Structure formats: C-alpha cells, structure tokens
Amino acid sequence: MNFDKATHPNVGDSNLALLMYNMPRTKTQGIELLNRWQKEFSNDIKSYEKVKKMFVDNAGSFHNLIHDMNFPNVSLNAYLSDIVDRSFANLKNYQSTSESLKDLSEKFYKTSSLEMFEKGEQGSSDISEILGGAIARFARFDDPSKALFEALRSDNIRKGLKEFKIADVTKDMFNPDSKQFKDIDIYDFTHYLLMVNREPNENNPTLKRLIEAVKDMQKESEKGIKQKLETPSEWGHNYSEFKNDGLGAINKLLETKKGFVAGAFHKEGLGDIDLVWGNKDYGLEHILKRREDQALNNGISETEAKEYAMSVVKTIPEVIEKGVKVERNGRMAIEYQNIRVGLKDNWKGEKLPNHWVITGYEKRSENSESLYTSPLITKGETLPLNSNEPNLTTKN
C-alpha cells in the first residue's frame, strides 16, 4: 500500500495515527512525546508546529520507507521515536544547522578511541541523535514537509546513495567494501540524510568529520554482529590458548566442564573447527553421555562406561587429522576408518563465518551397516548441536 497521496500535502488525523503506528513502543513513543515537546516549546509554538507538521505530513513517506523491500536492512521504525524526539531537541537547542553539526561532530568524532561505541544501546542512542540532527535540518527549509518528502522518496534515495558513493545498483568489483542499494543499513541512510539537499559549500570539514563518526559507528556495529555470530553467548568462555591444540582443548573442557575452544582443530578444505562443552543436549558433554549410555547398554560397569566414553572423545583429534572430508546430501563429516565426526556450520540458524563446530561422533563395527544410514545434522539446518543419531555400534 502506498500512502504518498494521503500524506503530502494533505494532513489529517489518519496521518498522525499512521506515524504513531510506526513508532516502536518506547518511553518516548507517540502522543506523550508530542505533548512533552509542546510544553517545551510553549514560548515558540510555531517552531513546535513546524516540526510536528513535517513529521505528520510525511507519515506515509516513513511508512513506505519502513516497508520498502529495496532497503530491507535500514529498519527505520526502530529509530523513529528517537528521531522525532531528537529533531525537536535539535531545533530547540541549536540556532542553526552549522551549530548543530559542529556540536555533534565534536561529541561523536574521536581519532584515538571508540569507547563511546562499545555498548549496543548507547550505539543506537548515538545514531538516533545524529539522525535527529540530520532530519531537524529540514525544519529550517522554506517548506519543511516538501523537502523531507523529496528526501524520503525511494528513487531519490537511490539517486543520492549513488551520487554520494554510498551504494549503487551493483557492487564495485574493484572495491570489496562497496554496497548494493539493498544492503544499506541505518548508518548508510544517516550518511545519505546528512548529505542530501546541501549546497556545495556545506560539504565542509565539520560535516566530513561527522560522517566519519557515522562510519566508525557502523564498523563497531558490524564488528559486534560478527563477534556475536563467531562466539554465541550460550557457549560461555573461549579458552583461546588451546586454539589448534585439539587434545589440549578436550582435556581443558573435561576439566572445566564449561566453555568452548574456537578453532580447537583445523582441517584443510574446511577451516577452523570449534569444540564446545555444551550440556546434556549438545556438545562434548552430550557426546560423552551418549557413549556412556551406549557402554552401559552393552552390560559393562558405570566406571568402565565412563572410561570408555573418555577414550572415545580422545580419538577425535586423530580422526580430524587423518580422516577425509565427506559430504553427502548436504551432511558434512570427517571419516577415518570406522569413525565419523559430524560437523555443523550454523548456530540456531545463524551462519558461523568461516568455521565449523563438532556435533556428533559415530563408530561402527566391521559388519555393521554404512555410517550413512543414520542422519547427520545438515549443513545450514537450524538444530541444536547434538548427535541424536541412532546407535550404530553393535553389541559384542
């Protein structure tokens, strides 16, 4: 549904309702936010009405952009309440756009430290403040509603992204950091809003410094996302000193009974392989428990069963070192003699970048069926790390 005709230039209660609908439910959300700023602007009600009208007139523009599949990663609705809030604050606290930019630049741009970007919530607050400053600038135009309306049009956004060398229709094959339009995020969109509808002489050092601050925030955000994917919080502490030391990693996790070792193993053609302690449902603890249960079912004592399970997991390094990579029906494993170690490349649906994690261990006797009669976790399958395969070891 397209709301352009309904939102500009005609303004009504339906547009206000649409604007409220697209705001996240926060403490600064909705009518309460507008009422608070109306009181703040009690001595300058015209300025309040100017900003309010600019947003209400463009309720449909925001709605369309939020739901525009050409820019699926912008996620503007998560910031809309804060943007409105910061736009009012910016107009009230600064007499001019240049004054606002200078203050924001000095506040957010640091050449030697990015400590202010360490906390996720603070990062969202920071980019919201800059977004608010960028949009408050439109309130100083002769026709704020029309100026913002044009800036939020999908075709104008694409035009600006290309003009300002933020993104393009296709990636630049000579620039690995280049982006397509569909890949832009809230930081790229902020960069665009800071640049659009400016006079040539406005592209000054202050503006450039602020844009660099936005880029720094973006890098820190991407770094945080990457770290989250590489080290899921459920795994606990990473005993990094045992990287590329498979047996040492196993012994450490057997000792601590918690945590994981990123890159405990490395296999040519696969890359790093992580070892996770986990719990009774996944990881090394799960493999131990299954081998113990298997041994107990074969009629040996509990002590002997534990010893058997320990001996089993300590063969994993040899299997990975000497075995061959095997993939059938999207199921990845390393097989050596009569043993197979199963691998997985995701955690709860999130791709693990450039590495795998051990998910299972199977052993069979010479006269048992093929290892591949039992299902392995599929590459890309969103299951927990476990080895709930059928028991393939025959009783002796």
pLDDT digits over 115-157, tens only? 443 334 445 577 888 998 899 999 989 999 999 999 999 999 9
- Of the three residues 230, 260, 288, the one that is the final residue of a domain is 230
Q: Are residues 34 and 151 in the same domain?
A: yes
265 and 169 both lie in a single domain: no
Same structural domain, 223 and 294: no
Chain centroid to CA 142: 39
- Amino acid 85 reads D
> Are both 117 and 188 inside the same structural domain?
yes
pTM summary value: 0.55
Answer whether residue 394 is part of any domain: no
Asked whether residue 307 falls in the same domain as residue 369, the answer is yes
b/e for 268-300, b at 16 or more Cβ within 10 A?
Answer: eebebbbbbbbbeebbbbbbbebbbebbbeeee
In a shared domain, residues 263 and 280: yes
How far apart CA 180 and CA 2 sit, in angstroms, is 24
Q: Report the distance separating Cα 182 and Cα 170, nearest Å.
A: 10
- Give yes or no: residues 54 and 96 share one domain: yes
Determine phi and psi for 170, rounding to 5 degrees.
-125, 160
Token pair for 320: 């990975």
In a domain, 391, yes or no: no
Residue 313 forms part of a structural domain? yes
Mean pLDDT estimate for the chain: 78
Same domain, 238 and 222: no
What length is written for the chain? 396
Domain-located, residue 91: yes
Burial class for 155, CB neighbours closer than 10 Å (0-12, 13-18, 19+): exposed
Same domain, 289 and 212: no
Count CB neighbours of 31 within 10 A: 9
Does residue 378 lie within any of the structural domains? no
Spatial separation of the C-alpha atoms in residues 330 and 68, rounded to whole Å: 34
Inside any domain, residue 390? no
Pair (281, 267) in one structural domain:
yes
For the chain, the domain total comes to 2
Residue 86 lies in a domain: yes
Q: Considering 173, 197, 230, which residue would you say is the last residue of a domain?
A: 230
Instruction: Compute how many other C-beta atoms are within 10 angstroms of the C-beta atom of residue 170.
Output: 9
Q: How far is CA 163 from the centre of its chain?
A: 27
Question: Which residues constitute the domain of residue 333?
Answer: 233-373
Q: pLDDT tens track of the chain, all 396 residues?
A: 444 444 444 445 789 889 988 886 654 567 888 999 999 999 999 999 999 999 999 999 999 999 888 898 888 888 888 889 989 998 888 888 788 888 888 887 654 334 443 334 445 577 888 998 899 999 989 999 999 999 999 999 999 999 999 999 998 877 777 899 988 999 999 999 999 988 766 667 888 888 888 888 888 777 655 555 455 667 888 888 888 899 999 999 999 999 999 889 988 878 889 999 988 877 899 889 988 998 898 888 999 988 988 988 899 999 999 999 888 776 788 999 888 888 887 776 666 765 688 877 877 654 444 333 333 333 333 333 333 333 333 333
SS3 readout for the chain: CCCHHHHCCCCCHHHHHHHHHCCCCCCCCHHHHHHHHHHHCCCCHHHHHHHHHHHHHCHHHHHHHHCCCCCCCCCHHHCHHHHHHHHHHHHHHCCCHHHHHHHHHHHHCCCCCCHHHCCHHHHHHHHHHHHHHHHHHHHHCCCHHHHHHHHHCHHHHHHHHHHCCCCECCCCCCCCCCCEHHHCCHHHHHHHHHHCCCCHHHCCHHHHHHHHHHHHHHHHHHHHHHHHHHCCHHHCCECHHHCCCHHHHHHHHHHHCCCEEEEEEEECCCEEEEEECCECCEHHHHHHHHHHHHHHHCCCCHHHHHHHHHHHHCCHHHHHHHCEEEEECCEEEEEECCEEEEEECEECCEECCCEEEEEEEEECCCCCCCHHHCCCCECCCCCCCCCCCCCCCCCC
Calculated CA dihedral for residues 152, 157, 159, 162, nearest 10 degrees: 150
Residue 154 sits in the same domain as residue 12: yes
Residues 65, 154 contacting (CB under 8 angstroms): yes
Shared domain for 31 and 154, answered yes or no, is yes
Among 206, 230, 254, give the residue marking a domain's end.
230
Q: Does residue 209 belong to any structural domain of this protein? A: yes
Q: How many Å apart are CA 50 and CA 15, to the nearest integer?
A: 15
Q: What are phi and psi of 108, to 5 degrees?
A: -105, -15
Q: Are 15 and 56 in contact, with CB atoms under 8 Å apart?
A: yes
